[in-house]
Every structure is written in structure tokens, then in C-alpha cells.
Chain A
Amino acid sequence: MGEETRDRDDGDGGSDDRPSLADQRGVASVYQPAEDSDLLARTARERVEAGDTVLDVGTGSGYVAATLADAGARAVGVDVSPLACQEAADNGVSVVRGDLVEPFRADAFDLVAFNPPYLPTPPEQEWDDWMEHALSGGDDGRRLVDPFLETVERVLAPGGEALMLVSSLTDPDAVRAYASEHGLASEQLASEKHPYEVLVVLRFYQD
């Protein structure tokens, strides 16, 4: 995730002594594209062909979906946050408010991209605002990673694949082991070193 300073407008830094994740990252209430979104978007774009139907889970500002739409895909974004949905729609992305892949038909997508909230965060440090939701991966950083891996296969078309951005902070090997338990093979497609983490893009597919 981005380390650069960003404009903040969340307006509720929390009343605790500890800074919130959003404060630490200096971000607004909708996660704005940073190195992680960019790596995922670039990697996914290389794999998408014109006419493919693709889903961007946790679309946020809609960056990955918009990149894939530029490549000629029929791209749809989904996000649980109403603020993110509005921003993605304002950016011209076809968007659905929903929980991961739940509102989509079986076999609907050639490619599903997911840049999950992945910062490991002790429960006492989480606050109830949409930016926390966009950043925090819970205790082990896998709060939404695991449910995604449990459910994504249903919406993949035959030969389809899921690409997920995973940080070294979230233990990519453990993520791949969990996917394997749920019948998904995986490989690493890309990796990029950053000051505090290594970002990797993992590809999940039916063996």
C-alpha cells in the first residue's frame, strides 16, 4: 500500500492515542489506488482479452475495473462500501454494492481480481469506519482473503482465474495453502519490493 502522504477527509481520527490505520496511511475514506492496485491492474491487464467478462472485487475507486475496461473487457466492480460504490460509479465503472462474489451468477467471469484489505490488525485497534474496512485484514490479515478463496470458484467460467494481490505481511504461502485446501491451484505471477513489504500477485485456478 502507498506510503506517500494523501489528502485526508475521513474527519474522525478516532479518540484513542494510537493512530488509526487510515491515519497511518494518510488516506481518505475510500481507498485510493496505490502501488498494490497498480501492480494488480497491470498484471491483470496482460491476461485479459477484449470481450472477456471480468470482476473487480473490493473495487474501491474503481481503478482496476477501469484499467480492464480500457483493455476492452466488460468490467464490473463490487464493493461493500457505499462510498466506494459511488466513487467507482463516478469514475465510469459499472458497479454493484455487494459482499465479495455473492451477488454474481455461476460461471460469469473469465477473470476475477481482488486487492483485499490485508494489514494485520489487532481487534482493539480497529475502528468502525469505511477506511478501516478497506485497510484492515483482521488479526492475521486474511479477514476477507479466506472467504474469497472459499467462494470465488463458483463464479469463474471454465478456464477462468482469480488474481489476488497479497503482501508479505499477509503470508502468501499460508494463503496458497488455504486455497489448495479449497481446490484451487495457484502460482505467483508478479512480485514487487517496497520499503515495508513485498507485494505479490497470485493466480488461482481450477487444477
Chain B
Amino acid sequence: MKEDLMEIICCPLDKHDLDLEVTERDDGEILSGQLTCTECSETFPIEDGIPNLLPPDMRDEAPA
């Protein structure tokens, strides 16, 4: 993900801002890291450049 995506994403649970912690960066792309809600402290992973902002209870859920 590009860092400017931070301007439009939020915590899916309470809609508050997210803090970005970058683990791996390549050019302008954030490849891995973590997003943390500034309000509820829930964390969301960034893996392979894709932020996973599913609520925790949907993260590992089977489809459908």
C-alpha cells in the first residue's frame, strides 16, 4: 500500500484514526507492517502490501 491510503482508511470497528507502523518498505510501497486503532487499540496487519482491515472475527472466517 501507498502511505497516502492512510488519508481514507480508518478502524473498521469504531471509525477512529489508525497509527501506521512500517516493517518493510520498497520504494513508495509499504510491504508489511501494522495498523493500530488510536481509540480501541485493535491491530490490523499489512501483508504483501495489502492492509487487512477486516474485523478480527472475520479475518479467519471461511467464505460465504
1/0 contact string of B2-36 vs chain A (CB within 8 Å):
10010111111001000000000000000000000
B53 touches A103 (CB 8 A): yes
Q: Mark A residues whose CB is within 8 Å of B.
A: 53, 76, 80-81, 85-86, 89, 94-99, 102-106, 108-109, 126-130, 132-133, 136
| Min CB–CB distance A107 → chain B (angstroms) | 10
A98 touches B12 (CB 8 A): yes
Choose from B1, B2, B51, B64 the contact partner of A129 (Cβ within 8 Å).
Answer: B64
When distances are taken between beta carbons in the complex, the residues of chain B under 8 Å from A96 are 1, 5, 9, 50-51, 53
Choose from A80, A94, A127 the contact partner of B1 (Cβ within 8 Å).
Answer: A94
Contacts A/B (CB < 8 Å), 26 sampled: A80-B63, A89-B49, A89-B50, A94-B1, A94-B2, A94-B5, A96-B1, A96-B51, A96-B53, A97-B54, A98-B52, A98-B53, A99-B12, A99-B54, A102-B55, A103-B9, A103-B10, A103-B53, A104-B8, A104-B10, A105-B9, A105-B10, A108-B8, A127-B64, A129-B64, A133-B64
How many angstroms from the CA of A130 to the CA of B10 in the assembled complex? 25
Choose from A89, A102, A128, A130 the contact partner of B53 (Cβ within 8 Å).
Answer: A102
